[in-house]
Structure 1
Amino acid sequence: MDSAAVDRLVVTGKASAAEGVAILELARPDGRRLPDWTPGAHIDVTLGNGETRQYSLCGDRWDAHRYRVAVLREVDGRGGSAYVHDELAAGDEVTLGGPRNNFAMVPSARYVFVAGGIGITPLLPMITQAERVGAEWTLLYGGRRRASMAFLDDLARYGERVRVVPQDEAGLLPLASWLGGPRTDTVVYCCGPAPLLAAVEQTVAAAGWAPHRLRTERFTAAEVGAPVRDAPFTVELARTGTSVTVTPQISVLAAARDAGATTLSSCEKGTCGTCETTVLDGVPDHRDSILADHERAAGDCMFPCVSRSCTDRLVLDL
C-alpha cells in the first residue's frame, strides 16, 4: 500500500455531480506533477476547518496534474462534508495525504462491479482500466433516487454493461441474478454502504464463490466482536528498542505514541490505512475493515489504531 508526502493542494474547480454530491478538482498551486495513483486509490484531505477526510480518486489517473474527488453531503456526519458543500470554494487550499490504495484492482479477464451511492467513485477508474486492457466487465449501480446518483451521464455511453437501479423506482439491487454463479476468471468489486456490502458478501457466499473473488471497500468500520484477549500485552518498538504495556483502555497506536513513535494516522477507525505498520514478531488481533482474509493470515502488518494482539508480545517496525 503506497503513500506519498503530505502536500498542499488548491481547489481549482467545484461543481455538482448529483443531488448532495459535489465534485472537487485539486492541483498543486505551482502546477507541478502530482503523485501517481492506481484505480481504487484514495487521498486524505485536511480541510480548512481542521477535519481530515478520505476521498476516493475518481478522475483520470493519466492526468498528472489534477485530482478529482466526489463528496457526498452526510446529513448526520461530523462536519467535513458540510464544510465542503457550504464553505469550500475554488482557490481555497487543502492538505493532501497519500495517495493510498487499500482497494487495489487485480488483473482479471472479467470484472463485476457493484456500487451503492457514492461507492461509485472508486469504481470509475477501474472501469476505465478494464476498458483499456480489454477485459469484460459489468456494473450494477444502485442509489436511493436517480437524481442523487452521480456520474450517470458518464456511464450512459457503456450501454447494457451498466444497469442503474434507483431504489424508489425499482427496489433493491438484483444481486443474485447479476452476480450469477461463481467463475474462476472473474473478480467482484463492491463499494457502498454497509448493508449493501453485507448483502453482496452473503450472496457471493451462498452462490459458492471463492472468498478471494470478492473485494470490498468500506466507508464506515465493520462491526467486530470483542478482542481476542482482555489482558494487557507488551509492544516493542523495534527501531528504538522501547517497550510499552498496552492495557485494554488504550489503543496500540496511543501506547506507541506515548513511547515516542511518530506514526501517522487519520480515521483511527481502521478504514483509511494511514497507520499501517509492519509486524516483526507476535500475532496481531486484526480489527480493521481493510485487510483481506489472506492478508490477515499472513500476520505481517496491522493497523494499530484499532487492532490489538493475540500474543503476550508484539514487535512492530516503529
Structure 2
Amino acid sequence: MSPLFPVHVDDVAPEGTECVRLRLVARPGDDTLPAFEPGAHVDVMTPSGLIRQYSLCGSADDPSAYLLCIKREADSRGGSQSLCTQVRPGMELQVSVPRNAFSLPAARRYVLVGGGIGVTPLLSMMMRLQRDNADWQLHFYARDPERAPFRDMLDASPYREHVRFSQSPRNGGYPAVLDTPDPDTAIMLCGPDGFMNAVFAHAVAAGWETGQIHTEYFRPTDSTHALSDRPFEVVLARSGQTVHVPAGQSIASALLAAGVDVALSCEQGMCGACVVPLLAGEGDHRDMVLTEEEQGGSIALCCSRSRSPSLTLDM
C-alpha cells in the first residue's frame, strides 16, 4: 500500500441522486497538496478501515483541493458506504499521493466515453482539454441522465456544447464518432466492465486500433483464470534471489512471504501500484492497467501469473 498522509474534509455534498462529493484540502499549517495530472486517483482510508481508490475529478490546475465523487453502492463491503454516510466537514482522512494509470496521450482529437460513476476521471481530462482549446467531446451514459452526477456543471458553459448524454449505448446509440476511425483521435473509456466491453468491441469492429482506446476499470472484470495454475519461479535480477510461486498464490504473495518488499494498493490489478519491469519470461497478464505493448516489458504482481516456467523481474 502507498504511504498515506492526512487531509482535511472541507466540504461534503450530494452529487446527483446516488453520489456524494468530497472536497479535501491540506490541513491548516500543512503545505499544499501534491500535484496530479488528469486521470489520476488516490487511495483513501475509509472510516470502515478499508482502503479504496477514487479518481480525482476536479481540475488538475487547482492544487488547493482534491475533489472525489463516491457512489453509494448497494453491495458495498463498507468502504464507499462509510465515506458516504460517516464523513463530515472538519474531519480528517488519510489519502495517498496521486497515481496515474489513465493519463491523456498526445492526440489531435479526444473522445471521452464514460458510464455512470466512470465519468469521474474524464472530468479532470475535460477541464484540461478545454483549457488547452483542444478538440474534444464527452459522451456520458447514465441510467437517469437528468439526475446524473455533475449534470449542472456539464450543462453550463463552456462544457455543454461538447457533452452528449444518453441512457445506454443500446438505448441511446454508440457515439457516432466511433463509426469513422481516425488515427489522430484518442478514445478515453471508463465505466462498468460490461459497458466498457461493449463500447470497446463496437469501436474495434468499426476499425479502430486497440492502442487508440485507453481504458480504466473501476472494478476487476470477470476472469476465467484461477490462481490454481501450475507453479513457477520468479528470479529477481538485482539480488539474484529465486522465489517459488506455488499454485493458488499470487506473485506478490509469494514475494512477501519470502521477505521481498512489494508495493501494493488495490490488489485487484486496477491501480498499477505493483507493476514492475519484466525482463524475461512470458507473463500471464490479468490486470486492467497495462496495454498489450506494455505487457511485453512489465507485469502486475498482485494478480498476474506466468505462462513460462520462470519470470525474471527487475527487482
TM-score (norm 1): 0.91
Post-superposition offset of 1:111: 0.8
Letter in 2 for 1:316: L
Relative distance call for 1:271 and 1:148 in structure 2 (3 A) is: farther
Quote the residue 1:308 is aligned against.
305
* Secondary structure at 1:175 match in 2: coil
Which shows bigger deviation, 50-59 or 243-252?
243-252
Letter in 2 for 1:314: L
Quote the residue 1:161 is aligned against.
162
Contact 2:284 2:304 (8 Å CA) reproduced: yes
Post-superposition offset of 1:202: 1.3
- Encode CA deviations 1:119-165: one digit per residue, 9 max, x unaligned: 11101111111112222111111111135411111111223321112
Quote the residue 1:105 is aligned against.
104
* Secondary structure at 1:265 match in 2: coil
Q: What are the equivalent positions in structure 2 for 1:1-318 lying under 5 Å apart? A: 5-29=3-27, 30-156=29-155, 157=157, 158-166=159-167, 172-175=171-174, 177-226=176-225, 230-296=229-295, 298=296, 300-318=297-315
| Separation of aligned partners in 1, 2:126 and 2:214 | 15
Post-superposition offset of 1:268: 1.2
- Encode CA deviations 1:232-266: one digit per residue, 9 max, x unaligned: 11112344433221111111110000011221212
Post-superposition offset of 1:221: 1.0
* Secondary structure at 1:183 match in 2: coil
Unaligned runs of 5+ residues in structure 1 are none
Letter in 1 for 2:209: A
Contact 1:140 1:178 (8 Å CA) reproduced: no
Which shows bigger deviation, 145-154 or 100-109?
145-154
Relative distance call for 1:173 and 1:270 in structure 2 (3 A) is: farther
Which shows bigger deviation, 173-182 or 285-294?
173-182
Which shows bigger deviation, 233-242 or 249-258?
233-242
* Secondary structure at 2:266 match in 1: coil
Contact 1:228 1:310 (8 Å CA) reproduced: no
| Separation of aligned partners in 2, 1:144 and 1:45 | 27
**How many equivalent residue pairs?**
312
Relative distance call for 1:204 and 1:230 in structure 2 (3 A) is: same
| Separation of aligned partners in 2, 1:6 and 1:279 | 28
Contact 1:11 1:24 (8 Å CA) reproduced: yes
Letter in 1 for 2:303: V
- Encode CA deviations 1:268-316: one digit per residue, 9 max, x unaligned: 11112221222233222111111111111x2x22111110112222222
- Encode CA deviations 1:183-223: one digit per residue, 9 max, x unaligned: 12211111111121011111111111111111111111123
Relative distance call for 1:240 and 1:281 in structure 2 (3 A) is: same
Post-superposition offset of 1:231: 2.0
| Separation of aligned partners in 2, 1:80 and 1:140 | 29
| Separation of aligned partners in 2, 1:48 and 1:147 | 31
Contact 1:4 1:99 (8 Å CA) reproduced: no
Letter in 1 for 2:292: D
Relative distance call for 1:124 and 1:183 in structure 2 (3 A) is: same
| Separation of aligned partners in 1, 2:228 and 2:248 | 12
* Secondary structure at 1:61 match in 2: coil
TM superposition outliers: structure 1 runs of 4+ over 6 Å: none
Contact 1:227 1:308 (8 Å CA) reproduced: no
Contact 1:13 1:24 (8 Å CA) reproduced: yes
Which shows bigger deviation, 191-200 or 88-97?
88-97
Post-superposition offset of 1:106: 0.7
* Secondary structure at 2:97 match in 1: strand
Contact 1:14 1:90 (8 Å CA) reproduced: yes
Unaligned runs of 5+ residues in structure 2 are none
Contact 1:141 1:165 (8 Å CA) reproduced: yes
| Separation of aligned partners in 1, 2:198 and 2:76 | 24
Post-superposition offset of 1:31: 3.7
| Separation of aligned partners in 2, 1:288 and 1:51 | 21
Post-superposition offset of 1:46: 1.1
